[in-house]
Amino acid sequence: MMHSDLKKFGHFDLLFPSDYSKAGDLGGRDVPVTIVDIEPRHKLQARSGKAEQRPLLHFGDGVKPLVLNRTNGKTLRKMFGPEVTAWIGKRVTLFAEVVDAFGERVEAIRIRSTPAKAAPGSTEEPRHDPTTGEVAEDALGAAWNRYRSAGGTEDGWLSLYRTARAGAPAKPVTAEAATKTASLVDEFIDQQKALAETAVKEGDVF
């Protein structure tokens, strides 16, 4: 007979409490958080049992701090720049991803931008395409959300969209521009996957 408290745990990580955020703490959800502080050299015990110092992200959302590995650090650098003090106050989303590390399949916490519902910028705002009758806004908005979910930045998006327009006006959004943008987003996502695979080969999960 199942123990009455078992359902409170559910995930393997929850059977072994930690002071730091683990994949199991997310409950299978995307968790938006705000970075409120960064501890550059936090002492902890590594998987090998040896003591080491690692960066630690602190959040102001009732979420336990996250030990920052190189993969997530590179994501934050791409999103907010190399100056780590600029990361304070930024809103990001934590999510769990299954990776190959240490000879087994494990869940690791990854970071991405908090998705937005529409493409940013008053002059870049997606609109209905009157020349084709197609709703280019939907296609462009979907591309924007995929781009942000893959770690893309707002500045990067605007640059990408300008490239897709190839000199055409920002408004109205055409189906051609929306299709080209979606293609460029696919290329960006492939690049991000390649970077993630490189990080996995290096065993860069905590």
Q: What is the pLDDT of residues 148-203, one digit of tens each?
A: 777 778 778 888 888 888 877 766 777 788 888 888 888 888 887 877 777 656 55
Count CB atoms within 10 A of the CB of residue 199.
21
Residues 105 and 154 in one domain: no
Q: Within this chain, do residues 59 and 110 fall inside the same structural domain, yes or no?
A: yes
Whether 146 and 170 map to the same domain: the answer is yes
- pLDDT greater than 50 at residue 48: yes
Query: Could you tell me if 20 and 59 are in contact, meaning their C-beta atoms sit under 8 angstroms apart?
Result: no
CATH code, domain with 52: 2.40.50
- Looking at residue 118, what is its pLDDT? 46
Residue 162 covered by a domain: yes
* Collapsed DSSP state (helix, strand, coil) of residue 95: strand
Question: Does the CA dihedral 111-53-199-12 come out positive or negative?
Answer: negative
Last residue of a domain, one of 82, 114, 146: 114
| Mean pLDDT value of segment 77-84 | 90
Q: Which of 86, 114, 142 is the last residue of a domain?
A: 114
**pLDDT of 38 higher than 90:** yes
Q: Provide the pLDDT for residue 151.
A: 79
Inside any domain, residue 155: yes
pLDDT of residue 196: 72
> For the residues 51-71, what does the mean pLDDT come to?
89
With a cut of 50, say whether residue 91 has pLDDT above it: yes
How confident is the model at residue 65, as a pLDDT? 93
Residue 177 lies in a domain: yes
> For residue 78, is it within any domain?
yes
DSSP state for residue 41 in the 8-state scheme = E
Asked which of 114, 146, 164 is the last residue of a domain, the reply is 114
Q: 22-34 b/e with 16+ CB inside 10 Å = b?
A: bbbbbeeeebebe
| 96 and 54 inside one domain | yes
180 is a domain residue: yes
Would you state the pLDDT for residue 5?
A: 56
- Collapsing DSSP states into helix, strand and coil, what is residue 146? helix
Count of all residues that appear for the chain in the document: 206
Query: Model pTM?
Result: 0.51
Domain-embedded: residue 14: yes
Residue where the block lists tokens 């409120």: 36
What's 22's DSSP letter? -
Q: How many domains would you assign to the chain?
A: 2
Domain of 32? Answer: 6-114
Q: Give the per-residue pLDDT at 4.
A: 54
d(CA 36, CA 171): 38
Residues 24 and 121 grouped into a single domain: no
pLDDT tens figures, 109-126: 999 887 554 444 434 444
Report d(CA 67, CA 39) in Å as an integer: 9
Asked if 24 and 77 sit in the same domain, the reply is yes
Asked whether residue 105 falls in the same domain as residue 163, the answer is: no
For residues 85 and 122, membership in a common domain is answered with no
Could you tell me if 62 and 122 lie in one domain?
Answer: no
Q: State the amino acid at position 5 in one-letter form.
A: D
How far apart are the C-alpha atoms of 47 and 56, rounded to whole Å? 16
Q: Are residues 13 and 98 in the same domain?
A: yes
Indicate if 144 and 70 belong to the same structural domain.
no
Q: What percent of the chain shows pLDDT beyond 90? A: 16
Looking at the fold, whether 125 and 34 belong to one and the same domain comes out as no
Asked if the structure places residue 119 within a domain, the reply is yes
Report yes or no on 1 lying in a domain: no
Percent of the chain with pLDDT over 70: 70
What is the torsional sign of CA 5, 9, 12, 16?
negative
